[in-house]
Amino acid sequence: MRAVPEWLADDRGTAALGAMLSPTSSHSLEALAAESRAMTLRRFGRTMTLYAPLYLSNYCSSGCAYCGFASDRKTPRHRLEADEIRRELAAMKKLGISDILLLTGERTAAADFDYLQRGVAIAAEEMQRVSVEAFPMSVSEYKALADCGCTGITIYQETYNQERYEALHRWGPKKDFIDRLETPARALDGGIKTVGLGVLLGLSDPVEDALNLYRHVRHLGRTWWRAGMSVSFPRMRPQTGGYEPTFPVDNQLLARFIVAFRIALPDTELVLSTRESATFRDGMAGLGITRMSVESKTTVGGYSENKEGDECEEKERGQFEISDDRTTKEFCAALRRQNIEPIFKNWEPAYNGPSGTINPERKAKADTLPNKS
Amino acid sequence: MDVLQLGSYTFSSRLILGTGKFSNSKVMLDAVRASGAQLVTVALRRFNREQLEDDLFGPLSAMEGITLMPNTSGASTAAEAVRAAHIARELSGSPFIKVEIHPNPQHLMPDPIETYEASRILAKEGFLVMPYIAADPVLAKRLEEVGCVSVMPLGSAIGSGQGLATSEMLSIIIRESGIPVIVDAGLRSPSEAAHAMEMGCEAVLVNSAIAVAGDPQEMAEAFAEAVAAGRKAFRAGLMQKSGSAVATSPLTSFLGTL
Q: Which of residues 61-120 of A touch B (CB under 8 A)?
A: 93, 96, 98
CB contacts of B107 in chain A (<8 Å) are 267
Q: Which residue of A has its CA nearest to B158?
A: A43
Q: How far is A237 from A240, CA to CA, in rounded Å? A: 10
The answer to whether A46 contacts B87, with C-beta atoms less than 8 Å apart, is no
Q: What is the ipTM of this complex?
A: 0.78
The answer to whether B21 contacts A343, with C-beta atoms less than 8 Å apart, is no
Among partner residues B22, B45, B103, which is closest to A347 by beta-carbon distance? Answer: B45
Please name every residue paired with B80 in a beta bridge, in sequence order, or none if there are none. Answer: none
| Position A314 confidence tier, pLDDT thresholds 50, 70, 90 | very low
What's this model's pTM, rounded to 2 decimal places?
0.88
SS (H, E, C) chain A: CCCCCHHHHCCCCHHHHHHHHCCCCCCCHHHHHHHHHHHHHHHHCCEEEEEEEEECECCCCCCECCCCCCCCCCCCCCECCHHHHHHHHHHHHHCCCCEEEEECCCCCCCCCHHHHHHHHHHHHHHCCEEEEECCCCCHHHHHHHHHCCEEEEECCCECCCHHHHHHHECCCHHHCHHHHHCHHHHHHHCCCCEEEEEECECCCCHHHHHHHHHHHHHHHHHHCCCCEEEEECCECCCCCCCCCCCCCCCHHHHHHHHHHHHHHCCCCEEEECCCCCHHHHHHHHCCCCCEEECCCCCCCCHHHHHHHCCCCCCCCCCCCCCCCCCCHHHHHHHHHHCCCEEECCCCCHHHCHHHHCCCHHHHHHHCCCCCCC
pLDDT averaged over every residue in chain B: 92
Q: State the pLDDT at residue B16.
A: 97
Q: Residues of chain A with pLDDT > 90: what percent?
A: 71
Q: What are the backbone angles phi and psi of residue A372, rounded to the nearest 5°? A: -75, -45
Instruction: Determine whether B49 is exposed, middle or buried from the number of CB atoms within 10 Å of its CB (0-12, 13-18, 19+).
Output: exposed
Query: Residue A311 pLDDT > 60, yes or no?
Result: no
Please name every residue paired with A52 in a beta bridge, in sequence order, or none if there are none. Answer: A100
Q: State the pLDDT at residue A92.
A: 94
Look at residues A130, A115, A68, A64 and name the one whose alpha carbon lies nearest to residue A275: A68
| Position B88 confidence tier, pLDDT thresholds 50, 70, 90 | very high
Q: State the pLDDT at residue B219.
A: 97
Q: What are the backbone angles phi and psi of residue A282, rounded to the nearest 5°? A: -60, -40
Domain B4-257: which topology?
Answer: TIM Barrel (3.20.20)
3-class SS at B159?
A: coil
Is B18 part of the contact surface with chain A (CB cutoff 8 Å)? Answer: no
Spatial contact of A49 and A293, defined as CB atoms under 8 Å apart: no
Q: How far is B121 from B131, CA to CA, in rounded Å? A: 12
Spatial contact of A294 and A324, defined as CB atoms under 8 Å apart: no
Q: Which residue has the higher pLDDT, B233 or A305?
A: B233
Q: What is the pLDDT of residues B108-148, one digit of tens each?
A: 899 999 999 999 999 999 999 999 999 999 999 999 999 99
The mean pLDDT value for A233-261 works out to 85
The mean pLDDT value for B186-193 works out to 94
Q: State the pLDDT at residue B105.
A: 86
The answer to whether B48 contacts A98, with C-beta atoms less than 8 Å apart, is yes
Q: State the pLDDT at residue B244.
A: 61
Q: Which residue of A has its CA nearest to B76?
A: A351
Among partner residues B105, B161, B208, which is closest to A228 by beta-carbon distance? Answer: B105
The mean pLDDT value for A121-138 works out to 95
When scoring A40, A41, A42 by the number of chain B Cβ atoms within 10 A, the one with the most, hence best to mutate, is A42
Beta-strand relationship, B15-18 and B39-43 = parallel
When scoring B51, B89, B91 by the number of chain A Cβ atoms within 10 A, the one with the most, hence best to mutate, is B51
Q: What is the pLDDT of residues B149-178, one digit of tens each?
A: 999 999 998 777 889 999 999 999 999 999
Q: Residues of chain A with pLDDT > 70: what percent?
A: 93
Q: State the pLDDT at residue A357.
A: 60
Among partner residues A46, A221, A350, which is closest to B212 by beta-carbon distance? Answer: A46
pLDDT averaged over every residue in chain A: 90
Instruction: Determine whether A75 is exposed, middle or buried from the number of CB atoms within 10 Å of its CB (0-12, 13-18, 19+).
Output: buried
Q: Is B232 among the catalytic positions? A: no
Q: How far is B150 from B7, CA to CA, in rounded Å? A: 9
Q: State the pLDDT at residue B241.
A: 77
The answer to whether B20 contacts A47, with C-beta atoms less than 8 Å apart, is yes
Q: Which residue of B has its CA nearest to A355?
A: B80
Q: Which residue of B has its CA nearest to A270?
A: B106
The answer to whether A348 contacts B44, with C-beta atoms less than 8 Å apart, is yes
Domains of chain A: 6-366 (3.20.20.70)
The answer to whether B76 contacts A46, with C-beta atoms less than 8 Å apart, is no
Q: State the pLDDT at residue A241.
A: 55
The mean pLDDT value for A188-207 works out to 95
List for chain B the helix, strand, coil content (%; round to 5). Answer: 40, 15, 40
The residue ranges of every structural domain in chain B are 4-257
